Amino acid sequence: MEEIRACVQIEGVVQGVGFRPFVYGLALEHDLKGWVLNDEKGVMIEIEGEKKRVDGFLSGLSFPPPIATIEKTSILYLPPLGYNDFEIRGSIEGEERVARISPDIATCKDCLNELFDPHDRRFHYPFINCTNCGPRFTIINDIPYDRANTTMAPFRMCPLCSSEYHDPSNRRFHAQPNACPECGPTLKLFTNLGKEITTHNPIGETIALLKMGKIVAIKGLGGFHLACDATREEVVSRLRARKYREDKPFALMCRDLEVIKRLCLVYDSSRELLTSKERPIVILLRKKGAKIAPSVVPFQKTLGVMLPYTPLHHLLFAEGVDTLVMTSGNVSDEPIAFEDREAFDRLKQIADFFLVHNREIRTRCDDSVLKPLKGTVTFLRRARGFAPFPIKLNRDGKSTLACGADLKNTFCLTKGNVAFLSQHIGDMENFETMSSFEEGVELFKQLFQIEPECVVHDLHPDYLSTRYAMDLDLPRTGVQHHFAHALSLMAEHESVGPALAVVMDGTGYGEHGTIWGGEFLEVTVRGYKRLGHLRYIPMPGSNMAVKEPWRMAAAYLERIYGDLEGLKIPFIEGLNLERWSQIGKAVSAKINSPLCSSMGRLFDAVSAILGVRNTVNYEGQAAMELEQMVEEGEMGEYPLEILEEKATLIVNPDPIIENIVEDIRKAESPFIISARFHNSIIRVISRMAQRMREETGISDIFLSGGVFQNHFLLGKVWDILKEDGFKVYTHQKVPPNDGGISLGQAYYGVNR
């Protein structure tokens, strides 16, 4: 019988995820000798014995524990050394440094079984976890990923927990957050005045309070949630009023899939997303008559729902609660609260009670938000469950720090051919978010041992992220916003171009002081050529036009009709013409009215003209509500015009708007008009794609930018381009919105 020895190097997320005990078990199962250890790249194994058994072992490696991700396996065969046994060896000191850090993972089945087993010593223990589940990223202070370097450090394991922790055959072998009621974190319940409520059963009390219609701030994995009964309108609207959040949708947490199915249409692909170990918020179509307070999602046909993902959540739903609002614990646009003191300060005006625990959250991390599309997904927000899982790039390059954009900010640090994209940081418009950004950058540098050699930023001089980059003593480069959108998608697909890119976006800094956002580009990883764009229009009042879509509507109508007074449509009748004439004067004098080619602003304009929304309470609201109105099945579209100016293709949307006005005069249904408008934009993109292909001979096409969060648009554009022979690329790993910008910037830095 031939004996062999195989040296196996495994790279990926393989540390702190139960990989070594898995290897240990596999070796025993195949009766093989050797060792396994964590090293700087991941996990190293030496395995020897009969060839047939070694082969069996190696194929067993392809079914790793649930939260491990193998990126690369290399095997080297050598003569056997005659090992006596199989052992888990200590890590090579100080060398676990580039290893991956796992995101936080939802409670696994085994732990759930124990949680609800009255004979288990962790029965109803809200901090149960194992190597297959539990907190990771949000509790790490430093590397290597050892208990001492997590916020579990103050908790000394009891003898039972310790024996599990040291037993290679145990599910909790080296599970750093391992704990039990004897030795681990505990819960406490407080009033919003900071008075502790003495009880043996804080969860039971909390459930009772929620059922009574109270708002409770609940400390979770990556921050506080504000929770309340989602079926009671008076409670949900009270939460809205206290949170200063007019109508941005609230996310829901439901007890189980059955509850979600009562509220929403759930297809197989969305069920997989909902029950995945990442447990994101999934945006689903709401069923007619779903029993939900209207204030949960005003003006929307969808609901954002998730399933419980910590043991605490599971316990909250164990006693007759079906559906809770679970929204980020913050006021309006501030980042989510994650420290106890801070949470009390900031949330005491909103929450009636606080359910807190004494395991500190090291890093703030919101819930991720996904939208399913044709068996794939669009990220709206990439955070818990995904960050800091890295994205592999096409090549090695200089370590780059990319600062992202100011809305929906993320940052990105690269090392070799790997990009560590941060969790969603938020809108950089207040001190809180800015410090969250700065702390995040420092933490990532430390955790992944990255000393950036260059920094990449947006071209917008007033972005706080740009200013941050300017203050660093590093070589720096600015990358145009929409080129960065395209690059983020190219990074996902490891493409270097040349390719075509259609970037339909809100607003981003262009060239020569203009604002871009409806861009048709020829791109390579090094640069872009602007083949075409949406025709420029002044943005009256600059950023005010983002908050007040009626300004864009008026600007378009004035360009087309000149005099607005004679225009007999409800939008004009409701318009304060005096105010507009003042603003109009500023526009003619080119004061605070930059020219923009933004597709997002065109959607805004149409939304206002149709009477959907004159002002917005959150970014993109007008466009989202316009999308919701589309009458499916309506095939009509408006004529379009593509002009050519100095070898650049200009999409003139004016004929579309004229026809919309005509339809409004004919009292056509706004649902039909919305569909026809969408169909026209789909046609615009398809025509432009054809023209670009004719000009360049390129048929690889990348679709990015925030407007592509509109799935009616994205789905149809995708189909029509594919049918037309294009190879179509869409986002799967990062959001098409500004949350992806930093990855695009980093990709540029690495490929320079």
Report whether 405 contacts 464 (CB < 8 A). no
How do strand 323-328 and strand 224-229 relate by DSSP bridges? antiparallel
Q: At its nearest, how many Å lie between Fe ion and the CB of residue 331?
A: 25
Measured from the Cβ of residue 527, the count of other Cβ atoms closer than 10 Å reads 13
* Binding partner of 738, given Zn ion, Fe ion, none, CB within 5-8 angstroms per partner class: Fe ion
Query: Which H or E run includes 521?
Result: strand 515-523
**Comparing C-alpha atoms, which of 505, 586, 593, 602 is closest to residue 553?**
602
* Tokens coding 427: 């809108």
* Binding partner of 130, given Fe ion, Zn ion, none, CB within 5-8 angstroms per partner class: Zn ion
* Binding partner of 421, given Zn ion, Fe ion, none, CB within 5-8 angstroms per partner class: none
**Smaller CB separation from Fe ion, 308 or 739:** 739
Q: At its nearest, how many Å lie between Fe ion and the CB of residue 171?
A: 44
**Smaller CB separation from Zn ion, 108 or 377:** 108
**Comparing C-alpha atoms, which of 48, 34, 26, 138 is closest to residue 89?**
34
Residue with tokens 């048709």: 520
Q: Looking at 178-186, 437-445, 651-659, 736-744, which segment touches Zn ion (CB under 5 A)? A: 178-186
Q: At its nearest, how many Å lie between Fe ion and the CB of residue 140?
A: 31
* Tokens coding 360: 């500190």
Site string for Fe ion, 486-525 (x = CB under 5 A): -------------------x--x-----------------
Query: What angle is formed at CA 329 by the lines to CA 326 and CA 334, rounded to 5 degrees?
Result: 130
Considering only 133, 418, 688, 746, the residue that binds Zn ion (CB under 5 A) is: 133
CA torsion through residues 443, 447, 448, 450, sign: positive
- How many Å separate Cα 401 from the centre of its chain? 19
**Helical spans, DSSP H, in 383-509:** 431-447, 464-470, 481-492
Find the binding residues for Zn ion in span 137-176 (CB under 5 A): 158, 161
Q: At its nearest, how many Å lie between Fe ion and the CB of residue 504?
A: 10
**Smaller CB separation from Fe ion, 323 or 466:** 466
Q: How far apart are CA 316 and CA 115, in angstroms?
A: 12
**Single-letter amino acid code for the residue at 577:** L
**Smaller CB separation from Fe ion, 280 or 735:** 735
Considering only 102, 132, 363, 368, the residue that binds Zn ion (CB under 5 A) is: 132
Q: What is the longest distance spanned by two Cα atoms in the chain?
A: 96
* Tokens coding 107: 């409670």
Considering only 504, 599, 738, 749, the residue that binds Fe ion (CB under 5 A) is: 738
Query: Which H or E run includes 257?
Result: helix 257-263
* Binding partner of 426, given Zn ion, Fe ion, none, CB within 5-8 angstroms per partner class: none
**Smaller CB separation from Fe ion, 15 or 480:** 480
Report whether 673 contacts 711 (CB < 8 A). no
Q: At its nearest, how many Å lie between Fe ion and the CB of residue 747?
A: 16
Q: How far apart are CA 338 and CA 361, in angstroms?
A: 6
* Tokens coding 28: 């025993």
Q: At its nearest, how many Å lie between Fe ion and the CB of residue 521?
A: 14
3-state secondary structure 30-41: CCCEEEEEECCC
Query: What angle is formed at CA 741 by the lines to CA 486 and CA 514, rounded to 5 degrees?
Result: 75
Q: At 87, phi and psi to the nearest 5?
A: -135, 155
Site string for Fe ion, 658-687 (x = CB under 5 A): ------------------------------
* Tokens coding 12: 């990926």
* Tokens coding 244: 């200063």
Site string for Fe ion, 578-617 (x = CB under 5 A): ----------------------------------------
Q: How far apart are CA 163 and CA 149, in angstroms?
A: 20
* Binding partner of 484, given Zn ion, Fe ion, none, CB within 5-8 angstroms per partner class: none
Report whether 432 contacts 438 (CB < 8 A). no
* Binding partner of 508, given Fe ion, Zn ion, none, CB within 5-8 angstroms per partner class: Fe ion
* Binding partner of 492, given Fe ion, Zn ion, none, CB within 5-8 angstroms per partner class: none
Considering only 130, 226, 356, 743, the residue that binds Zn ion (CB under 5 A) is: 130
Q: At its nearest, how many Å lie between Zn ion and the CB of residue 225?
A: 21
**Smaller CB separation from Zn ion, 186 or 449:** 186
Q: At its nearest, how many Å lie between Zn ion and the CB of residue 177?
A: 10
**Comparing C-alpha atoms, which of 518, 549, 711 is closest to residue 617?**
549
**Smaller CB separation from Zn ion, 183 or 642:** 183
Q: At its nearest, how many Å lie between Zn ion and the CB of residue 317?
A: 18
Q: At its nearest, how many Å lie between Fe ion and the CB of residue 454?
A: 22
Report whether 520 contacts 704 (CB < 8 A). no
* Binding partner of 505, given Fe ion, Zn ion, none, CB within 5-8 angstroms per partner class: Fe ion
* Binding partner of 133, given Fe ion, Zn ion, none, CB within 5-8 angstroms per partner class: Zn ion
Query: Which H or E run includes 211?
Result: helix 202-211
Report whether 269 contacts 375 (CB < 8 A). yes
Q: Looking at 176-184, 217-225, 325-333, 731-739, which segment touches Fe ion (CB under 5 A)? A: 731-739
* Binding partner of 7, given Fe ion, Zn ion, none, CB within 5-8 angstroms per partner class: none
Q: At its nearest, how many Å lie between Zn ion and the CB of residue 158?
A: 3
Considering only 8, 68, 111, 356, the residue that binds Zn ion (CB under 5 A) is: 111
Site string for Zn ion, 180-199 (x = CB under 5 A): x-xx----------------
Considering only 108, 253, 501, 624, the residue that binds Zn ion (CB under 5 A) is: 108
Query: Looking at beta carbons, which residue is closest to Fe ion?
Result: 505
Q: At its nearest, how many Å lie between Zn ion and the CB of residue 114?
A: 8
On the CB side of 249, CA atoms within 13 Å amount to: 21
* Binding partner of 158, given Zn ion, Fe ion, none, CB within 5-8 angstroms per partner class: Zn ion
**Smaller CB separation from Zn ion, 106 or 682:** 106
**Single-letter amino acid code for the residue at 450:** I
Q: At its nearest, how many Å lie between Fe ion and the CB of residue 458?
A: 9
* Binding partner of 700, given Fe ion, Zn ion, none, CB within 5-8 angstroms per partner class: none
Q: At its nearest, how many Å lie between Zn ion and the CB of residue 108?
A: 3
Residue with tokens 């040349």: 498
Q: Looking at 6-14, 124-132, 246-254, 409-417, which segment touches Zn ion (CB under 5 A)? A: 124-132
* Tokens coding 423: 């969790």
What b/e sequence results for 574-585 when a residue is b if at least 16 CB atoms lie within 10 Å of its CB, and e otherwise?
ebeeeebeebbe
Q: At its nearest, how many Å lie between Fe ion and the CB of residue 432?
A: 22
Query: Which H or E run includes 284?
Result: strand 281-285
Q: At its nearest, how many Å lie between Zn ion and the CB of residue 176?
A: 13
**Smaller CB separation from Fe ion, 88 or 707:** 707
Q: How far apart are CA 538 and CA 356, in angstroms?
A: 50
* Binding partner of 366, given Fe ion, Zn ion, none, CB within 5-8 angstroms per partner class: none
- Residue 194, class by beta-carbon neighbours within 10 Å (0-12 exposed, 13-18 middle, 19+ buried)? exposed
Alpha carbon distances (Å) from 604 to 150, 316, 507, 600, 679: 46, 41, 12, 6, 16
DSSP state of 337: P
* Interface with Zn ion: number of residues (CB under 5 A): 10
* Binding partner of 161, given Fe ion, Zn ion, none, CB within 5-8 angstroms per partner class: Zn ion
* Interface with Fe ion: number of residues (CB under 5 A): 3
Q: How far apart are CA 726 and CA 300, in angstroms?
A: 33
* Binding partner of 525, given Fe ion, Zn ion, none, CB within 5-8 angstroms per partner class: none
Q: At its nearest, how many Å lie between Zn ion and the CB of residue 173?
A: 12
Binding site for Zn ion (CB under 5 A): 108, 111, 130, 132-133, 158, 161, 180, 182-183
Binding site for Fe ion (CB under 5 A): 505, 508, 738
